[in-house]
A and B are shown apart, each in its own frame.
Chain A
Amino acid sequence: MSNRFINILVPVVSIILGLIVGAIVMVFSGYDPIKAYIALWNGIFGSPYAMGETIRQISPYILAGLAVAFAFRTGLFNIGVEGQLIVGWFAAAYIGMAVELPAIIHLPLALLAAAVAGALWGLIPGILKARFGVHEVIVTIMMNYIALHTVNALIKSISGGSYKTEKIHETASLRSEFLSNLTDFSTLHYGILVALAMVIVMWFILEKTKTGFELKSVGFNDQASQYAGMNVKKNIVLSMLISGAFAGLGGAMEALGTFGNIVSRSAFTGIGFDGIAVALLGANTPLGVVFGASLFGSLTYGAGNMPNEAGVPIEIVSIVIALIILFVASGYIIRVVLSKMSKKKEAK
């Protein structure tokens, strides 16, 4: 079996195995797995509306995944994507609502605000790590809580005591009538283009620029990088900055696309944490993140159709989806089994 073939086969087998185990769970719980999976399929691809919503769901996952993956490539574990996303969300919602500008300036400005906010939120743990050696995992986790509650307080203060901000102006919106009509009134917005553009940006930074060379080098081996005269501290800070900017843009997807405002939250969005899984599924490469986010996004969104169309309760659905993702993530094991099988065949 050629390597290339195995590379394609592994995710496919993983998904199928996940589906089978999920089906067993459903059979034991007394639900029809075939009906449920048809519902899942329809929930993802079944109609222009479903496809629109699926893509809408994928966009923030891509950006959160990029954020985690980018930091990973520099040897940093950015668990703070969640917080960076929330501050980005707020910044975009605020700029979208508070200023009035022509769309050509307003939308980019709101996106930029989100990126800057996320970047600043990533900068703090970056500096603490580089300057004082404080582990970024601890700092970023704490920064998540600070982000959540600070943003809640800000929402309250700028909205005059309400739990949500006013809607953003049309000029800052990523929504478009065109996309809406195309997908039968889904909440699909142009954010997916922003996300894909960032995929290219990440690829370009890592694969084409001098900065990317340094970031990767520091990520693989900071000591050798230091010996080669690179400024390791600067690269750590820079990496967190860029990672945070991606996360902040993820928040902009929600602010300027999906919701059009920000509502005070009592818990995290979860997108930032799912970003870790997305990045790992995608082996921390830009293209891989698109794959991971697509899988994650379509499963999460499509799963919503399983109670809707097949009557499977949401709890069972969550188990099934988690199983599928688990199997994909453990594709390594399947890879080992496959290569062993192929070896045996060759031996015969």
Chain B
Amino acid sequence: MEYVIEMLNIRKEFGNFVANDNITLQLKEGEIHALLGENGAGKSTLMNVLFGLYQPDGGEIRVRGKTAAITDPNVANNLGIGMVHQHFMLVENLTVTENIILGNEPKKMGMINVKAAAKKVAEISKLYGLDVDPYAKIEDISVGMQQRVEILKTLYRGAEILIFDEPTASLTPQEISELMAIMKKLILEGKSIIIITHKLQEIMDVSDRVTVIRKGQGIGTVITAESNPEELATLMVGRQVTFKTEKTPSNPTEEVLRVENLVVEDYRGIPKVKGLNLSVRKGEIVGIAGIDGNGQTELIEAITGLRKVKSGRVIIDNKDVTGKKPRQITETGVGHIPQDRHKHGLVLDFSVGYNAALQTYYQKPNSKNGIMNYKVISEKAKEIIDMFDVRTQGEHEPARALSGGNQQKLIIGREVDRNPDLLIAALPTRGLDVGAIEFIHKRLIEQRDNGKAVLLLSFELDEVMNVSDRIAVIYDGEIVDTVVPSETSEQELGLLMAGHTKDEMPIVVEEVGLKEGGDHHVK
């Protein structure tokens, strides 16, 4: 089989920093090729070189055997290279078709011919089983659907080679498996795919070969079928990684958080949490499993005082904190790792040190009589940096300059350092690589072992299964069931999350069980 893309000994520097050093990636026609590496390893840089956004400082790119100078994305497009970005580039209030033809509008006597375009979009959609309505508005369709629009966009422009940048980062488990099926379909229709990811399971499920890069260096390419997750992880991180987080059985004591009949509305006044009950005890990790949009965000914002409670009560350490201000609740002994670390967790333009003090800056000795003591804050920040292995040039570096994993470590360090009785961790590992995930999971378990309560919100089933002692499944604003990880399966959880009740379960579980026995993903 011939290579459609060859990136040979690619080198890319930014000032003194070498982002890509001698990396070789060869994509065969009709294969799914995974590009694996930790965050900051240089995956995106390499793909941006291929897509014409960066010019390489060394090495050669060949497309179908011919040397190509990809000077900008238009050249890439003309060569049949299309990119499905991690952050969708879609205009919310335009339709699917309008978004697809944006910047490339078919004209008929000077008028944009939307109808013809919509027809073509529908055809492509049908061919690859994308099932997209050409006239739907972007704001009305789900994240998974939006991603398909991105795929359609590249196909519409005649892409033969598709690059997927972290495609599963914001998808639900169901959407992920659907995406995998779509990728298979694309291959059948003669396309070639590069998928950037750090999720090992996905690679095992879908890819034919894997190219691993670590710290900007090409480590090598392996055939997926001849490898296993452990080997890939070791290649990626450069050391042995444990997947199954080691932990002893939990030993829960008294209740720290009790949520009673909680009702919370979103900003439009539509109830999102509908009479929810929840209890978390010291010495246990309670995971909340659910598909995004079932009230998780509102629940956590209500507990932490960021959102108004319509009715019901939130009790922390036997104190009714319903309707209290965020700071009062924090001071009751709550640590909060917010879902969106950029928006809510950090002030990115503040230094690492300032961010480390974001929850405690107003307390002695950080400030006294309204005057800040930045020396003390710096010292404390250094401690947190050390203890939580935050890789940074120092406490004066802006938080923006840190990689995602280190930003998250900083937040966790800040929250854990306050020694809260209840630690709320919302999507604490989103977008992070295995090394960082492992570290963060260990910290959460450590908190539990120290007799603290942890409430974990996650969309990743294996994370919930791995880390939690109990799993509360949230569906449509209510906890529909609470299960113990050892007594359940991802499939059962998936069904609960989709709104099935336990009554229907026996039959369904059996069906799933059968499927589980076989190869549950199309190979």
Contacts and interface: CB of A to CB of B under 8 A. Distances in A.
B306 A226 contact: yes
Interface in A197-230: 208-214, 216-217, 220-221, 223-230
A210 B347 CA distance: 16
Nearest to B377: A213
Contacts of A230: 327
B306 A210 contact: no
Contacts of B338: 227
Interface residues of A, number: 20
Contacts of B371: 208-210
A224 B347 contact: yes
B344 A220 contact: no
Contact of B372 (A209, A221, A226): A209
Given A210-B361, A210-B362, A213-B361, A225 B347 contact: yes
Contacts of A221: 343, 346-349
Contact of A224 (B327, B343, B367): B343
A229 B330 contact: yes
Query: Interface majority SS on B: helix, strand, loop or mixed?
Result: loop
Nearest to A221: B347
A221 B350 CA distance: 9
Interface in A230-251: 230-231
A217 B359 CA distance: 12
Interface centre among A208, A214, A227 (most CB of B within 10 A): A227
B115 interface: no
Interface string B14-43: 000000000000000000000000000000
A230 B306 CA distance: 11
B330 A220 contact: no
Nearest to B326: A229
Nearest to A227: B344
What class of interface size applies to chain B in its complex with A?
Answer: 20 to 34
Contacts of B343: 221, 223-224
Contacts of B354: 213, 217
Contacts of A231: 325
Contacts of B347: 217, 220-221, 224-225
A212 B354 CA distance: 12
A228 B370 contact: no
B358 interface: yes
B362 A227 contact: no
Given A209-B372, A210-B362, A227 B348 contact: no
B372 A227 contact: no
B336 interface: yes
A230 B361 CA distance: 11
B350 A216 contact: yes
B306 A228 contact: no
Contacts of B349: 220-221
Given A213-B354, A221-B348, A223-B344, A228 B359 contact: yes
A208 B377 CA distance: 12
B372 A213 contact: yes
A231 B325 CA distance: 9
Contacts of A216: 350
A233 to B, nearest CB: 12
Given A208-B371, A211-B370, A221-B349, A229 B359 contact: yes
Contacts of B348: 220-221
A224 B345 CA distance: 6
B326 A227 contact: yes
Contacts of A226: 306, 326
A270 B362 CA distance: 39
B372 A224 contact: no
13 contacts: A209-B371, A210-B362, A210-B367, A210-B370, A213-B361, A217-B358, A220-B347, A221-B348, A223-B343, A223-B344, A227-B336, A229-B327, A231-B325
Interface of B: 304, 306, 325-327, 330, 336, 338, 343-350, 354, 358-359, 361-362, 367, 370-372
Given A208-B372, A227-B345, 18 more contacts: A209-B370, A210-B361, A210-B372, A211-B370, A213-B372, A214-B361, A216-B350, A217-B347, A220-B349, A221-B346, A221-B347, A224-B343, A224-B344, A227-B336, A227-B344, A229-B326, A229-B327, A231-B325
Interface of A: 208-214, 216-217, 220-221, 223-231
The 8 closest A-B pairs by CB, nearest first: A229-B327, A220-B349, A229-B326, A228-B358, A227-B344, A210-B367, A221-B347, A220-B347
